[in-house]
Homo-oligomer: A and B are copies of this chain.
Amino acid sequence: MTSFDFTLAQLAEKVGAKVLGDESARISGLATIQSARSSEISFLSNPVYEKYLPQTNAGAVILAESMVEKCPVNVLVHPNPYLAYAQLTHLWDTSPMKAGNGEGIHPSAVIHQTATLAAGVSIGAGAVLEAGAVIGENAVIGANSFIGRDSVVGAGTVLHPSVVLYHGVSIGERCIIHSGVVIGSDGFGFAPDKGRWAKVAQLGGVVIGDDVEIGANTAIDRGALDNTVIENGVKLDNQIQIAHNVRVGENTAMAACCAVAGSTSIGKNCIIGGASGIAGHLVIADQVHITAMTMVIKSLTEPGVYSSGTGVQPNAKWRKSIARLRQLDQMAGRIKALEKKLKDSD
């Protein structure tokens, strides 16, 4: 973190908070509530960390109104401390990979003569842009990335190093695409043909909206005929698999290692927990919350929280549970027999 610093009054104004305490206190960084020093500001939103509040050495803490009395130091009062914290993080973000970072075109980049580059574009070393590629204003293409033929990267979008866009992929504005992401690879389409597989050429593309973030090593396949679609504001974490012709609705967030099979449509404002799997040709309603590692094998037509799986147990107990699970049918039969017997004896 840099030593760039602000007064509490300045920070409060940036996030629309009220200062309780010394408005002129100088803050040069952000830190967790247990490690913050007097020059740093912290925040409290997860109740798990409330226990650290009385002893904090932070210069100030961003708090909801209800927590103010427990805080021994300066406070920024804000109805949503986590949001205020999110806004402040950008003051101290020193990442070199930002829209309009002014690095220009590296001479080792290989750019086809028919590619179009808007003003303020940065292209890293070893990046390759194929014929017809279009890069919007202030966009950043990381080193060793590949932009396939006729693919489009919107204004203000950042591709970190080693991203691959196949041909005919369109990415909106202000997106962040992390390293190792592959977009537009062939969907998994094969027709059985006398014990062998005949490839179905994947003729669709991928369309990604604005303000989308895609985590490291995630893969999004191109559509078979129509496009695969990721709508505005979607956040995908690392190592996710999006199959052909999936649609992910606006502002849905999906944690790492999820897999969504072909032609499934996920609604808006859903939250999908990590390592969940969603089978193909399903429809998931808006505002569905799926907890981590859930196995979704049917459509979910109503908003709500959904789960599956058996949580962790000591191995010996787990072995018994699993053995019993396989006896359930027989157990059900025994209950029925008992019921019959008791009824007969009535």
Contacts and interface: CB of A to CB of B under 8 A. Distances in A.
Contacts of A119: none
Interface in A294-331: 294-298, 300, 304-322, 324-329, 331
A50 B175 CA distance: 38
A226 B32 contact: yes
Given A239-B241, A261-B292, A296-B312, A95 B162 contact: no
Interface stretch (A5-13, A17-25, A68-76, A198-206): A198-206
B269 A195 contact: yes
Contacts of A215: 185-186, 188, 219, 221
A87 interface: yes
Nearest to A190: B235
A164 B166 contact: no
A290 to B, nearest CB: 7
Contacts of A182: 162, 178-180, 216-217, 238
Interface string A167-190: 100000000101110100110111
Contacts of A341: 342
Given A86-B199, A89-B201, 17 more contacts: A46-B281, A142-B146, A146-B179, A162-B162, A162-B182, A179-B185, A182-B238, A185-B215, A186-B213, A197-B253, A243-B256, A256-B261, A259-B274, A277-B292, A307-B314, A307-B315, A313-B326
